[in-house]
Structures are given as structure tokens and as C-alpha cells.
Amino acid sequence: MTLEDLYPKLFIGGEWVTPASTRRHTVISPLTEEPIAEVALASNEDMDAAVAAARAAFDEGPWPRMPIEERIAVMERWLELITARKDEFANLITSEMGMPITVATGGQAGIGLMLLQDAIRIAREFTWMETRIAPIGNAIVSREPVGVVASVVPWNGPLSVALLKLPPALLAGCTVVYKTSPESTLDGYLLIDLLKQAGLPDGVLNLVPAAREESAYLVTHPGVDKVSFTGSTVAGATIGSEIAKDFKRLTLELGGKSAAIVLDDADVDQFVAATKGLSFGYSGQRCTNKTRLIVPRSRAEEITAKLAEMISALKVGDPFDPATEVGPMTTSQHRDRVEGYIQAGIDEGARLVVGGLGRPEGLDKGWFVKPTLFADATNDMRICQEEIFGPVVAVIAYDTVEEAIAIANDSKYGLSGSVFSADPKRAFDVARRIRTGTVEINGCTPGFHVPLGGFKSSGIGREAGPEGFSAFTELKTYGLPDGVAETLV
């Protein structure tokens, strides 16, 4: 059976099954605007079946009761299989969502493999059980799997986010219903097919591409113990309010409107070079992108001119061309949304320096947006407060460092940020005052072995690192007679 033969099916209970509904989603190439595949859409009845399979695998199957070494062995086989098909994953992602092939290879397949490798390492080192002996009592404290997890993965990071969520959940002993976005689910089919080959027991992981209504049905399903969601803040707020009624465990990684603060002693060339990736990575379709560029007023013209030079030189075009730096938007609706924000920036009085409305020259087909730079922006503008999720950045000038910090923190979001300075200690002192989950000094990313997540409306909880494992466990305490606890751990 080829990969294409799987697209009309769902993976439930260890088998590729025909869905209860005849509804399909046509995957359209963002480059050619032509159909490239049709995938199944799960109905509520299919969600019931997937949750039932995961529930049975958790309550009655071997997976949660296996020694951790045996679960690790399955993950290691999965790692080998994914590694062998790395280029195929990258090509699928570029086909379905228009991500430049170099980014799909490094930022999706490459980072995904790093996350899986790190999850295996953490599972070996993680404290699953410990003794606590004191005059007032003897105990074992253990980390137990949280249960059935609804894992909801966004369209913009289909493989990397899947491998951020699935390995810790599975290694912790959970079972999972894995909900992919129909726009970018082709790589998900390959991912699950390889995990089946790796020897995962039936029902432990179930694949259900679904639209919004059925996704909402899944996360509120009474058979689900935990929801792990990455997506928009609006959707996250709805999920949080609904599932709180049932006290489900919850991790939310949501939107961002991240700021880069440039201090007056910063190396401008270093900042501009870093901005190419930090602000325009994933063609702008990444929640951690630094889209508010907060610069000293005394250097604003200098910095704006160098940013304009860099942005004007970005290669926009065929995402399969290794030289391409900015590909198309993933859907036509999203392209229209991004252009709506560009119009809003113009209407609100920001100075359009580079880019703007209309298609990039020579690209009459494909859902492309011109990489766009606004200057003379103020932080109350929509382009500075709302997440655009496209290749659009705004320069905001400040007079004092106190003002720069206040501007950075004047956002409902708190996902990421950057500080640039010739003095790393000075930059660190400023970074400590920024209310975000991650702050990068001079563009240095912290890696993927650390907790990732946001403050404020950017989410709840953390993923990756040992903290990401903890999110898929419940603490359980056993009281024991004297001398017994030490014999059981």
C-alpha cells in the first residue's frame, strides 16, 4: 500500500480504517494553486472511535505498564525510520504548505528528529519514582501517565510540533488521539505509518485529521484526560473555558507578537542578519517571529535603511528552489488576511518602506505576499498589537531603555523576544524584565532541550525538556511502612 492509498483513511485502533463520513479535504498546492491530494476528515463518530481505542489501550493494553526501556526501544526504532525518510518528509511539507525546502528539511524534519532524540534521552534520565523518608512518614512519589491525550497540531509546524508533543506523551505511558490540520496532514500519514512499523501497540496512537467543529468535539470528549493544543489564542481561550468544566489537564502553546529590542550599542549588521531568520522564518508563519522591532530613535533611520536593504533582497518564489527564503502563504484565505493587515498598517499611518500590497514581481500564481517593512509605527497600531502571521514587520522607535521595555511588554502576548547589545550582561538585564517565555540574547536560540511556552495570552504550561515530560504525568504518592519504600524503587 502506497502513502497515497492511506489518505482517504484514518488510523484508529492500530489499523487504517475507512472513516464514518464521506467528507474529504482537498489539499491545494500554495505554489501552483492546484489540488495535490484528498484526505479524509474525521466525523464526531470517528472521534468517538479514536478515543475509545485510546481509552482501551490505556486502561487494558500493555503500553502504560511496559518498562520504560521497552517504550524507549519503540521510539528508537521510530527515530531510525524517520531519519531514513527525512527528505521525503521535507518534500511533503513543502508540497502541502509551501514552506521553503531548506526550512522544511532543517526546521521541520531536522528539528523534529532533534526533539525525538532529546525525548529519548530525557526518558532515560527522568525521575519516574523516588523515595521520601522523614520522621513523619515514608513515601514513594511517582510520575504516572496522565491518560488519554488529545494532541492538536497546527498547520504551520506539522512535523516539528508533532514530535514536540507525541514522544513525551508516549514515553510517559499515555495513549494519544493525534489531530492534524487538514491543510498540512500528508506528513502525518507518513509519521504514523512509520510508528506502526516501529511496533507501537494497537490503539496507543490514533490519527484523525479534522475540521474545527470535530476538533472541538474531540477536546471536550469525556474520554480525554488531557489536551495538548498548539494554535491561535482565540481557539485556545475557547478550549480552556470549555474543558475547565471537567478539570481536564491542559497545555496551550498559543500566539505571539514578539519584540526585538535593539540597544543603542548593538551591532546593527548583526541584528539585521539575525532578523532574516528571527522575523521572516517560515515565510513569517511562525508564532515566535520577532515582528515588533524596537530601536533607539537616534539610530532608527540607520537601522530601517539596513533592514530595507535586507528585506528587499529576500528571495521570494518557488519553495522547492533551495535559494528561496520566503515561500507562499499556506492558503489563499491566509494570504488575504496578511494583505488585510498590510492595508491596515497603511491606513493607520505607518510608513511603508518595503513591500506592500500586490504580488511579488514575476509571481502571478501562488499565494505569495511581498515581504513588508513598516517604519514610524506606534505600538497601539493593529500591526503592532495583533498577530499577522506573515512576512510583515514594524519598526518602533524609543527614547529610553525604560520606554523600550514598556513597549515590549505592552502586549497581550508573551511568547518570545530578543535583546541585542554589544554587552551581553546589559542585554541580559533587559531580557529579565521582558514578560515572555523565551528571550534570545543577540539572536542566540536556547535549543530544544529547554521548556518552551509563553506568558499571558501566549499559553499555559510548557513543552520540551523535562518540563514537557512532566506535563504528561500526574504525581501520585504512596504511604508505606518503615523499611519498605527503599525496597520498591
Looking at the fold, whether 248 and 346 belong to one and the same domain comes out as: no
Looking at the fold, whether 145 and 16 belong to one and the same domain comes out as: yes
Q: pLDDT tens digits for 141-150?
A: 999 999 999 9
Give 488's pLDDT tier (boundaries 50, 70, 90): confident
Residue 295 to residue 473: CA distance in whole angstroms: 43
12 three-state secondary structure: strand
Give 485's pLDDT tier (boundaries 50, 70, 90): confident
CATH of residue 113's domain is 3.40.605.10
Number of domains in the chain: 2
Strands (E), 73-204: 129-134, 137-145, 148-152, 175-179
Looking at the fold, whether 90 and 235 belong to one and the same domain comes out as: yes
pLDDT for res 85: 98
Looking at the fold, whether 244 and 262 belong to one and the same domain comes out as: no
* Residues 6+ positions from 251 with CB-CB distance below 8 Å: 226, 227, 228, 229, 453, 459, 460, 461, 462, 463, 471
Residue 207 to residue 292: CA distance in whole angstroms: 37
Residue 154 to residue 161: CA distance in whole angstroms: 8
pLDDT for res 215: 97
* Residues 6+ positions from 121 with CB-CB distance below 8 Å: none
What residues are labeled active site? 253, 287
Is residue 413 in a domain?
A: yes
Is residue 453 in a domain?
A: no
Looking at the fold, whether 123 and 156 belong to one and the same domain comes out as: yes
In the predicted structure, residue 95 carries a pLDDT above the cut 90:
yes
150 three-state secondary structure: strand
294-306 burial: b if 16+ Cβ within 10 Å, else e: bbbeebbeebbeb
CB 309 within 8 A of CB 318: no
Which DSSP helix (H) or strand (E) runs through 171? Answer: helix 158-171
Looking at the fold, whether 404 and 464 belong to one and the same domain comes out as: no
Domain limits for position 160: 3-254+458-478
Q: pLDDT tens digits for 97-139?
A: 999 999 999 999 999 999 999 999 999 999 999 999 999 999 9
Share above pLDDT 70 across residues of the chain, in percent, rounded to a whole number: 100
pTM of the complete model: 0.96
pLDDT for res 444: 95
Place of cell 502576548: 413
